[in-house]
Structure formats: structure tokens, C-alpha cells
Amino acid sequence: MKIELLADDAIIVELSADDMKKLNITYEEMDYSKIETKRVIWTILSRAGRTLGREINTSGRLLVEAMRRESGGCVLFFSVEQEKVTTKTKRYLVKKSDYIACDFDNVTELINCAERIRFSGFTVESRLYKNENKYRLFVRTQTAGAGLIKPCLSEFGNVSGEGALLYAHTAEHWQCITDKKAVEKLSFKTGKGAS
């Protein structure tokens, strides 16, 4: 189990297939309405507190994002929205597919890729980063669509990886060009995306 503090109110936990087995849960079984999932979440938060040497404050609204790993494990993002809650505090578990990263050496191929994605009918979340003369486009779609979008990305750029750790590293070390709707913005600039 790899635990990392991203901010005062955000933690990332990477679970291997062995970790999932020890916790007696699978990605498919994760559902916050089930007592077993709650047990696992609180076990992980307790261990995170010990590992990080600090109390994990969950008095605000807790959001848990779970992303499947091809290796059989998963990555969990814990974030707490600190706000005054007058009613019962709610907890959420959201399952998402991983971001897929694709690198481009020039803006022409990047725009061509964005147009192909947009007009192929994929619904994606997308973000764009730049490091010197290289562009990195992150796209995330439903789990079923992830396998279909990779060939589209590979046609124009170099798929450099996927997952929360690559995304976090890029967000920290690369310049953010746009943190949302990158595909729509790139394809719109060519005039073809306007409708």
C-alpha cells in the first residue's frame, strides 16, 4: 500500500492486487452503501494517518474516487471538503477510469488528434500540459471506452502511460495549458468544433 499526502485535504492511496486481497475486497464490490466498503475505507484512512503521522480530518464531506488498475489493484483519492454541515455529513465513492496520457511533438498532430476524438463521438474529460516543446494530453472516458480511445490517440501521438501517479507527476512538473475540456477547445480552434 502506497500512501501519499497531496494536500492538507487530499490523500492518494495505491493498492496492489495483494493489498486488495488482504483487505478482502475487489474493485467491483466497492460501494459506499455496503458495510464492507466502509470498513475498508476506514481501515485505509486509519493506516494513512499512522503512515503520515497525522490525524486524517474527515469532519467535512468526504469524497473517495476509485480507479481500477490493470494490475488488479486500484488507486483511491481521498479529499475532504471542509465546510459547515448542518445536516448529516455525506460520504461518496465515485468510480472512474484512469487518465490516459498521450505525448505530441507538435501542435498540428495534437489538434488532429483532438478533432478525431471529438468527432468520433467519445465523451471524455481532457486536460492539456506543456513541457518545453512537448505537449501531453490526458483523456479519461468510461472504462469500456478506454480501450477504444487508445488506438485513436496512438494514431497521432505516443501513448505514454495512464493512471493517477503519472497525472499527478505531470500536474506538478509541467505547465498546465487547460485543466478542462482540452479536446473541445483544441477542436473548436480549427473552426470544425463549432456547432
Q: pLDDT at position 98, please?
A: 73
- Classify the C-alpha dihedral 142-73-90-34 as positive or negative: positive
Q: pLDDT at position 145, please?
A: 53
Same domain, 88 and 18: yes
Same domain, 109 and 185: yes
Confidence of residue 12 (pLDDT cuts 50, 70, 90): confident
Q: pLDDT at position 18, please?
A: 93
Confidence of residue 147 (pLDDT cuts 50, 70, 90): low
Higher pLDDT, 93 or 43: 43
Q: What is the largest CA-CA distance in the chain?
A: 53
Same domain, 112 and 91: no
Higher pLDDT, 63 or 188: 63
Same domain, 15 and 33: yes
Same domain, 108 and 134: yes
Q: pLDDT at position 151, please?
A: 80
- The answer, yes or no, to whether residue 52 has pLDDT greater than 80, is yes
Same domain, 6 and 91: yes
Mean pLDDT, the chain, whole residue set: 79
91 residue type, one letter = R
Same domain, 36 and 87: yes
Q: Which of 153, 145, 143, 148 shows the shortest CA–CA distance to 182?
A: 153
Collect all residues with Cβ–Cβ distance below 8 Å to 59 and sequence separation of at least 6: 80, 82, 89
163: domain range?
A: 100-189
User: Side-chain half-sphere of 94: how many Cα atoms within 13 Å?
Assistant: 13
Residue 195: inside a domain, yes or no?
Answer: no
Q: What is the CATH number of the domain that holds 140?
A: 3.30.70.1950
Count the domains in the chain: 2
Residue written as cell 475505507?
Answer: 41
At 93, which helix (H) or strand (E)?
A: strand 91-96
CB distance 93 to 32 below 8 Å: yes
What percent of the chain has pLDDT above 90? 17
Same domain, 34 and 70: yes
Residue 48: inside a domain, yes or no?
Answer: yes
Strands 61-68 and 91-96: parallel
Residue 104: inside a domain, yes or no?
Answer: yes
Residue 129: inside a domain, yes or no?
Answer: yes
Same domain, 7 and 64: yes
| Boundary (domain end) residue, out of 77, 96, 115 | 96
